[in-house]
Amino acid sequence: YNRYVGVVEDLFRASAEQKGDEINWRLSARGLIALMDGLWLQISIDERPGATSEALEICDRFIEQQFSRS
């Protein structure tokens, strides 16, 4: 798990550096992981068509918001 968290943190940090944004990449990574954990649970019990694509859209929007706040 710690390795996984480190990878997500590295991705946020690299993206922030590339964009020239100053974000709290540690909090952004932890927030995304928590969001994905909750969405994974929801998808596993939600049989609606499109639940997976909806979850992906939610994650995409979360990531965009992390960079639009800086």
| pLDDT tens profile 6-53 | 999 999 999 999 999 999 999 999 999 999 999 999 999 988 888 899
Domains contained in the chain, number: 1
- Quick one: which of 62, 55, 57 has its CA closest to 38? 55
The distance of Cα 27 from the centroid of its chain, to the nearest Å, equals: 10
Domain that holds residue 29: 2-68
Give the pLDDT confidence score for residue 15 in this predicted structure: 95
Q: Is the pLDDT of residue 70 over 70?
A: no
Q: Is the pLDDT of residue 63 over 90?
A: yes
The distance of Cα 43 from the centroid of its chain, to the nearest Å, equals: 16
CA distance 59 to 70: 18
Q: Is the pLDDT of residue 68 over 90?
A: no
Give the pLDDT confidence score for residue 24 in this predicted structure: 95
Going from the C-alpha of 59 to that of each of 23, 37, 52, 65, the distances in angstroms are 17, 11, 11, 10
